[in-house]
């Protein structure tokens, strides 16, 4: 009789705990921030972007719901975004000055502060998988260039010919950028406007591509997740900057800048003008404001994105998630592709500034 009681209590407790855990799961994604406005985007483009965002949310959520880890969920959601040509990560990555696609990605596990990153890979289909392999299968945190490609291949990851990453819209964006040389040589407002105009032309009229070729969009994709075990994770993946030179690396593969996760505080993935995000150590700074100054997630994220970065002139945004499942998605640019999915599977996608968190 006593045994039966024990059994009943056990099943009751385990069911309750399980339900509680799954009540807490959450996943948040972004697909880049920048000059993304209603008037710049067609209804067709908007629909296409929202569909991919929602697919990423649903696929990542399924991992969490089935008891997968936050790292697994981050990988799954980011792979959806990498595989879509719409976002500047994986397929659809922007082109370097030399006409190549050099990809960066990073991951951090909030449970144990383990991390992995790759910079400048050219043959890994899903750079986020390479970052995770660095974290899980190597004693290192950051691998770069051809060496990182070699490591990914040795780990049995999916390798593709560099031509896999080609998209017409991104290549045209490179040609336009080269024409104006605005990104590296001229930072005046006039150049920005010209570039924007050209970018829009390419996206809307010339190629009629679904890919939204913003003149100034800091395309990067990212995901933060909280699993039923209470563990946070953050991941980021990008093709970097159109027309980038000299092996330029932004904040996406930099732990503490574009990506940071710590169960004690929060998980953060950033998107924006990477140079400013590195100098401001954005992702770690949000965590530090919570840990040392006692700010809540929203205040910490706003302090960095809406005050510090604006004061420095750094455009972009972050997605952030704390251990209680609170979400913050501040950005100081005109728009940011973003979305979240709740424990019950209800998802929300947003693009513009006027869409508030529901």
Q: Active-site residue numbers?
A: 220
String of b and e for 42-79 (b: at least 16 CB within 10 Å)?
Answer: eeebbebbeebbbbbbbbbbbbbbeebbbbbbbbbbbb
Q: What does the alpha-carbon distance between residue 305 and residue 307 come to, in Å, rounded to a whole number? A: 6
With contact defined as beta carbons under 8 Å apart, do 319 and 337 qualify? no
**Which residue number, 97 or 343, has a Cβ lying nearer to a second copy?**
97
Question: Where do we find the tokens 């690396």?
Answer: 249
Residues found near a second copy in the complex (CB under 8 A): 108, 113-115, 119-120, 138-148, 150-151, 183-184, 187, 245-250, 254-257, 260, 274-275, 278-281, 284-285, 288-289, 291-293, 312
**Which residue number, 46 or 184, has a Cβ lying nearer to a second copy?**
184
Q: Outline where DSSP puts E strands in 76-124.
A: 103-109, 114-121
**Which residue number, 208 or 293, has a Cβ lying nearer to a second copy?**
293
CB of 59 to a second copy, least distance (A): 28
CB of 274 to a second copy, least distance (A): 8
Long-range Cβ contact pairs of 144-147 (< 8 A, separation 24 or more) = 144/118, 144/119, 144/120, 144/249, 145/119, 145/120, 145/121, 145/247, 146/122
Q: What does the alpha-carbon distance between residue 194 and residue 34 come to, in Å, rounded to a whole number? A: 16
CB of 280 to a second copy, least distance (A): 7
**Which residue number, 118 or 221, has a Cβ lying nearer to a second copy?**
118
CB of 19 to a second copy, least distance (A): 33
Structure tokens belonging to residue 21:
């855990």
With contact defined as beta carbons under 8 Å apart, do 268 and 259 qualify? yes
**Which residue number, 28 or 280, has a Cβ lying nearer to a second copy?**
280
CB of 81 to a second copy, least distance (A): 23
């Amino acid at each position: 009789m006593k045994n039966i009681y024990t059994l009943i209590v056990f099943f009751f407790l385990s069911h309750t705990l399980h339900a509680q855990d799954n009540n807490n799961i959450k996943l948040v994604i972004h697909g880049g921030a920048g000059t993304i406005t209603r008037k710049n985007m067609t209804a067709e483009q908007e629909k296409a972007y929202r569909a991919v965002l929602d697919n990423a949310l649903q696929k990542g959520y399924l991992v969490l719901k089935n008891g997968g880890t936050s790292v697994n969920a981050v990988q799954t959601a980011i792979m959806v975004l990498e595989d879509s040509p719409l976002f500047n990560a994986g397929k659809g990555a922007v082109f370097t000055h030399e006409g190549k696609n050099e990809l960066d990605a990073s991951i951090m596990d909030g449970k144990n502060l383990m991390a992995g990153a790759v910079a400048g890979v050219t043959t890994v289909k899903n750079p986020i998988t390479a970052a995770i392999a660095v974290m899980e299968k190597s004693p290192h945190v950051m691998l770069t260039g051809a060496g990182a490609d070699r490591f990914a291949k040795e780990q049995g990851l999916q390798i593709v010919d560099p031509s896999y990453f080609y998209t017409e819209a991104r290549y045209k964006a490179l040609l336009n950028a080269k024409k104006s040389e605005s990104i590296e040589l001229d930072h005046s407002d006039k150049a920005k406007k010209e570039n924007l105009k050209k970018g829009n032309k390419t996206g809307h009229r010339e190629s009629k591509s679904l890919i939204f070729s913003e003149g100034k969009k800091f395309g990067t994709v990212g995901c933060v997740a909280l699993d039923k075990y209470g563990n946070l994770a953050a991941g980021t993946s990008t093709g970097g900057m159109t027309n980038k030179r000299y092996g330029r690396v932004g904040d996406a593969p930099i732990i503490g800048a574009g990506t940071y996760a710590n169960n004690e505080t929060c998980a953060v993935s950033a998107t924006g003008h990477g140079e400013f995000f590195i100098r401001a150590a954005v992702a770690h700074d949000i965590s530090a404001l919570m840990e040392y100054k006692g700010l809540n997630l929203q205040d910490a994220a706003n302090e960095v994105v809406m005050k510090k970065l604006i004061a420095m002139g750094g455009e972009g945004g972050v997605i952030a998630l704390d251990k209680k499942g609170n979400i913050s998605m501040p950005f100081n640019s005109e728009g940011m592709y973003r979305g979240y999915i709740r424990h019950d599977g209800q998802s929300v996608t947003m693009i513009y500034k006027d869409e508030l968190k529901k």
